[in-house]
C-alpha cells in the first residue's frame, strides 16, 4: 500500500461492523491492517448471509465483504495462552490496536491497553463498546438496532403518529458506522499526538455516547428549545419546505434552504404570490405555517410527473432530487463518471465489486489492493512479516490449534 498511512501497522481485534469499518478506512489510507479472527469461524459477519459470494470450496457474505477490504486475516485462538502471547508480540510491533470485546475480556486475557502499552509505550489502543467501560452499564451487550433505539435515533425516524407512523431504525447500521468513523478520526488524532510526544494513549468510544453525539441539530433543538423532537417523516425540524412531495407518478425531494430558493420554488409551482405572503415571508414564518404551506405544495406538485418537476425546479435553481433506489444510484451516469464501484481480484470472483472510498487525495490516492480476506488467508505471511517466525514455529502453533 502507498497511501498516506503507509508504514502504519494496525492490529485489528474487532469484529462485526464498528471496528472493522474504522480499520477498513485506515486500510484504504494505506495502513497495514491485520485482522485477528477465530480459527474455524472468523468474524461473526462471515455467516451473515445470504447473499453470498460463493465458490465450490467456500462462500463469503456480502455483509463481511462490505467492511473488510485492504486487510490481511490471521487466525488466532485468543482464549489460549499461546494465542495471547502471539498477540502480545504482534502488539509490540503495532502502531494501533483496536478491539470491541465485552468489558473485562481483554483484561482477563492480558490484552488490555495497560498490559500492551507496558511493552509498547507508543501504542494507540482503541476500545469500542456498547456502553462506557467504567459505567453502570459496562457489562451490557449492545447491537446497532438497540443503540439506535436507546440513543434517541428511532424516536425521530419514521412517519409521525398522525400518519400512522411508528419508530423506525435507519436502513443501515448507522450507529456502528458512525462509531467507526469516530474511531478512525480519534486514532489519526492520537497518531498525530504521538508524532509530537512519542507516546501513544488509550481511546474509548462507547456506541451509545457516539449515537447521542451525532444527533446534531436535534440535540440542540431539545437542549435550547426544551421540546422533545418527534418523528417527522422526510420533513426537516428547522426548515420548510424541506421534504419529499408526491407527484403524479411518485415522489421527489425538495430542499429549500433560503428565501430566494423559496421564491423560485413558488414561481415554479405556479404560486408566485406565496413568496410575498406574510405567512411565508421568512423561514420562521414558514415553520409556524408548515401545515398550510405543505398542503398547498402537495396539491400543486400532484398535477405533474416527477421528471417534469425535477427539470423545471433544477432550471429555477431549486435544490431537488429524485428518490433513487440502489439500482438507480449505481446505474446513474454520475456513478460511472466517479467510479463509485471499483473491482478487486478475489479467489471466488476475478472482479469483486466494492464501493469506492469517497475521499480523494491529490498526492496519495486510495488504493484497492486487497479484497476482503479469506479466513486465515495471511496467517503464515503475517507471522513471518511482522514477527520473523520460522516455518517450524508456525507449524507448531498450527498443530496446537493456536492458529
Catalytic center residues: 176
Q: Is 146 helix (H, G, I), strand (E, B) or coil?
A: helix
Q: Rounded to whole angstroms, how far apart are CA atoms 333 and 234?
A: 26
Q: How far is CA 377 from CA 20, 27, 34, 75, 334, in A?
A: 17, 17, 11, 8, 36
Peptide bond into 358 cis (omega under 30): no
**Rounded Cα distance, 319 and 338, in Å:** 21
What is the pairing mode between strands 124-129 and 202-206? parallel
Sign of CA dihedral 122, 128, 131, 133: negative
Sign of the alpha-carbon dihedral angle for 265, 267, 272, 276? positive
How far is the C-alpha of 195 from the C-alpha of 8, rounded, in Å? 12
Distance CA 120, CA 113 (A): 10
Q: Rounded distance, CA 351 to CA 108, Å? A: 42
C-alpha cell recorded at residue 272:
408566485
Amino acid at each position: 500500500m502507498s497511501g498516506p498511512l503507509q508504514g502504519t501497522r494496525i492490529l485489528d481485534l474487532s469484529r462485526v461492523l464498528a471496528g472493522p469499518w474504522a480499520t477498513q478506512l485506515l486500510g484504504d489510507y494505506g495502513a497495514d491492517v491485520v485482522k485477528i479472527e477465530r480459527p474455524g469461524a472468523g468474524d461473526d459477519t462471515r455467516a451473515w448471509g445470504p447473499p453470498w459470494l460463493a465458490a465450490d470450496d467456500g462462500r463469503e457474505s456480502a455483509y463481511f465483504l462490505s467492511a473488510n477490504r485492504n486487510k490481511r486475516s490471521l487466525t488466532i485462538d485468543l482464549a489460549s495462552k499461546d494465542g495471547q502471547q502471539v498477540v502480545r508480540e504482534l502488539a509490540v510491533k503495532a502502531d494501533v490496536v483496536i478491539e470491541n470485546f465485552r468489558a473485562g475480556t481483554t483484561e482477563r486475557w492480558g490484552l488490555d491497553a495497560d498490559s500492551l502499552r507496558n511493552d509498547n509505550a507508543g501504542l494507540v489502543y482503541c476500545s469500542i463498546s456498547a456502553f462506557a467501560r467504567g459505567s453502570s452499564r459496562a457489562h451490557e451487550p449492545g447491537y446497532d438496532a438497540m443503540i439506535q433505539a436507546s440513543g434517541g435515533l428511532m424516536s425521530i425516524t419514521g412517519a409521525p403518529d398522525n400518519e400512522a407512523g411508528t419508530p423506525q431504525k435507519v436502513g443501515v447500521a448507522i450507529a456502528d458506522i458512525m462509531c467507526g468513523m469516530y474511531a478512525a478520526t480519534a486514532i489519526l488524532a492520537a497518531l498525530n499526538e504521538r508524532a509530537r510526544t512519542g507516546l501513544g494513549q488509550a481511546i474509548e468510544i462507547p456506541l451509545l455516547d457516539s449515537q447521542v453525539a451525532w444527533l446534531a441539530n436535534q440535540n440542540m433543538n431539545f437542549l435550547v428549545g426544551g421540546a422533545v423532537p418527534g418523528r417527522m417523516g422526510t420533513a426537516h425540524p428547522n426548515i420548510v419546505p424541506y421534504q419529499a412531495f408526491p407527484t403524479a407518478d411518485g415522489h421527489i425531494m425538495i430542499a429549500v434552504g433560503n428565501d430566494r430558493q423559496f421564491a423560485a420554488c413558488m414561481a415554479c409551482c405556479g404560486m408566485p404570490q406565496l413568496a410575498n405572503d406574510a405567512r411565508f415571508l421568512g423561514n420562521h414564518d414558514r415553520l409556524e405555517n408548515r401545515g398550510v404551506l405543505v398542503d398547498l405544495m402537495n396539491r400543486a406538485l400532484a398535477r405533474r410527473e416527477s421528471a417534469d418537476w425535477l427539470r423545471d425546479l433544477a432550471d429555477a435553481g431549486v435544490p431537488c432530487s429524485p428518490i433513487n433506489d440502489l439500482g438507480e444510484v449505481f446505474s446513474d451516469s454520475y456513478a460511472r463518471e466517479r467510479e463509485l464501484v471499483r473491482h478487486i481480484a478475489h479467489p471466488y470472483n476475478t472482479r469483486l465489486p466494492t464501493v469506492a472510498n469517497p475521499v480523494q487525495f491529490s498526492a496519495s490516492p486510495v488504493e484497492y489492493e486487497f479484497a476482503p480476506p479469506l479466513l486465515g488467508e495471511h496467517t503464515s505471511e503475517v507471522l513471518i512479516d511482522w514477527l520473523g517466525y520460522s516455518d517450524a514455529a508456525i507449524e507448531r502453533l498450527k498443530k496446537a490449534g493456536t492458529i
